[in-house]
Amino acid sequence: MNDEQLLRYSRHILLDEVGIEGQERVLASHALVIGAGGLGSPVALYLGSAGVGRITLVDHDVVDLTNLQRQVAHTTDRVGQPKVESAAQAVRAINPGVEVTCLQQRADTALLDEWAPQATVVLDCSDNYATRHAVNAACIRHGKPLVAGAVIRFDGQVMVFDPRDAASPCYACMFTPEAEFEEVQCSTMGVFAPLVGVIGAMQAAEALKLISGAAPAITGRLLMLDGRTMEWNTMKVPRDPACVVCGKQ
C-alpha cells in the first residue's frame, strides 16, 4: 500500500482482526454484486469505501423516481440512467481507486458463468426468486461464497452460503427451485426505506469478513429482522444432502 492508501484505510488497519494483511486482501479482491437497487446501493458504497479492488455491478434496470426513497446510490439528476452507471458514479466519488465494471444486463446463466469464476465473493442483491436461484447455482458450480439478502415491507433477512465449507447449505436447501412461489415486490407491497440499508450494510460486512478473514461469516445461519420491533431471530439451516443443487457436489 502507498501512503494515501495507508491513510484512507487506517481505521481498518488499526483493527487487529484486519491489519495491513487483511486490508491488502481487500484491495486485491473482486466482488460481483447482483442488483444495484435498494440492497446493491449500500453494498456497493460500503465495499467501495472499504477498498475492494474490483466491483462488478450487474443490473438491467434504469433509475426511476420511485427508487430514490431507498436506493441511496442514485440521485434525482440520474433518473433515467442505467442503475449500474449511476451506482458506479457514486462509488467512484467516494473512492476513485476502485475499478468498477458495469454490466447492464440480466444475471442469466451465461453471464454468471463468465463472471462468478473471477469473483472473490458474490453478493445477491436481486429482487426475484429466479435470479436468486441462478446466482446460487452459479456459486455452487464455481465454488464461490455467496452473501444473500432480501427485504420486503418491514422484514429483512441475510445469510451466507459457502460451498468451500462442506457443512454449508445453499439457497436451494431452504427454498427448492421447483417450489411454486408467488413473487412479492416492493412496487406492490412497499418497503421500509432504512431496512434495505441495514440489510445491505450487513451483506457488505459479511463480504468483507470473508475477504479479509477478520472474523467467521454467518454461514449456515439465517438472520431475520422484524423492522417493526427491531428484533432479530436466528435460524440454523443445515445442508440438505438431497438438495438438487448442492447435494450433487
Q: Among all residues, which ones are annotated catalytic? A: 186
- Cα angle for residues 97, 103, 105 (degrees, 5° grid): 160
Residue where the block lists cell 467467521:
216
CB half-sphere exposure, 98, CA atoms < 13 A: 31
Contact 101, 48 (CB under 8 A): no
Inter-residue long-range contacts of 12-20, CB under 8 Å, 24+ positions, other chains counted: 12/50, 12/51, 15/214, 17/212, 17/214, 17/215, 18/212, 18/214
Contact 87, 74 (CB under 8 A): yes
> In 35-140, where do the E strands start and end?
54-58, 99-103, 121-124
